[in-house]
Every structure is written in C-alpha cells, then in structure tokens.
Amino acid sequence: MKENIIDEVPGVTDTENVHLPVKQRSTIWHDLRSQFMVTGNTLFDAAGFGGLSNLRSLFHHVHIGKSMPTPSEEVQKAMDHGSKNEINAIATICTKVLPVYFPQ
C-alpha cells in the first residue's frame, strides 16, 4: 500500500487541505480509498450493525491485511443495482429532499 497517494496527484501542493473530484472506480480512487480504515461501504460493518462476524472480518482486513470475503451473489446483485442507480439517488436528493431544507 502506498504511503500517501495524494502526493502523486499533479498540481497539488497543499496536501493538508485537498478537495479534488476523483472519478469513482478509477485507479487513483481505489488508491485513495485503500488509505482509509472505514469508507461509506464499510461504515455499517465498522459500527457493528452487520454483526460480530462482519466486524471481525473488517478488523482483520484493515489491521492484518487479510482479504475481505467475497460477497454472496445476492449482496453482489444489490451492490451492482446500487452502483447503476446512484444517479437516480442523486436526482431524488436534489429534487425531493433538498427543496425541503432549502425552499428558495
């Protein structure tokens, strides 16, 4: 694992305050995500909501380097559906949720 991938991004001089749009599933996106112990995908298990077995697997992955178990076919299907429909979730948030908080 690379020590700090952000140092390799062209044009970045202040690595303390970097806010760059990064294309999802790109090489740099995967490299950046690998530096974090918890991501949006692992938060549920990291908080213990997925059960002790999933929490233990995540711990071993993060601290020992053991690979995560392959998701079941059902879970993979749900993840693929979520990936394909991210744009719909964004549209719903922008048109239905945000106007409630920001009516103007």
Give the pLDDT score at 1: 46
* Full-model pTM: 0.59
Residue 100: its pLDDT value, please? 93
Q: Is residue 89 included in any domain, yes or no?
A: yes
3-class DSSP string for 46-77: HCCCCCHHHHHHHHHHHHHCCCCCCCCHHHHH
- Average pLDDT of every residue of the chain: 85
Tens of pLDDT, residue by residue over 55-87, are 999 999 999 999 988 989 998 999 899 889 988
What are the structure tokens assigned to 46, written together? 């990291």
46, pLDDT greater than 60: yes
**Into how many domains does the chain fold?**
1
More confident residue, 69 or 8: 69
Structural domain harbouring 91:
70-104
- Measure CA of the first residue to CA of the last residue in the chain; give whole Å: 46
| 102 in a structural domain | yes
- What is the C-alpha separation between 58 and 38, in angstroms, rounded? 9
Q: Are 45 and 58 in contact (CB under 8 A)?
A: yes
